[in-house]
């Protein structure tokens, strides 16, 4: 089975070299898997699967 790392919204801007606002905007626009990695939402928590 493959191992995945999960990252928070606070950690992703550093990895993608974009602003935190940009990450939130791309989540809102539904661009998971296109310009940001796929993510899962658990209640109010968002975790990126990398």
Using DSSP's 3-state secondary structure scheme, residue 20 falls into helix
Kindly tell me if the per-residue pLDDT of 50 is higher than 70: yes
Give yes or no for a contact between 27 and 39, defined as CB atoms under 8 angstroms apart.
Answer: yes
Residue with tokens 């928590």: 45
pLDDT at residue 1, rounded to an integer = 52
Mean pLDDT of 1-10: 84
Using DSSP's 3-state secondary structure scheme, residue 46 falls into strand
Largest CA-CA distance found in the chain, in angstroms, rounded: 34
Q: What is the pTM of this model?
A: 0.77
């Amino acid at each position: 089975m493959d191992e995945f790392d999960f990252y928070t919204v606070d950690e992703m801007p550093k990895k993608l070299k974009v602003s935190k606002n940009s990450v939130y905007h791309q989540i809102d626009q539904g661009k998971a898997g296109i310009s940001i990695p796929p993510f899962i939402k658990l209640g109010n928590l968002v975790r990126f699967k990398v």
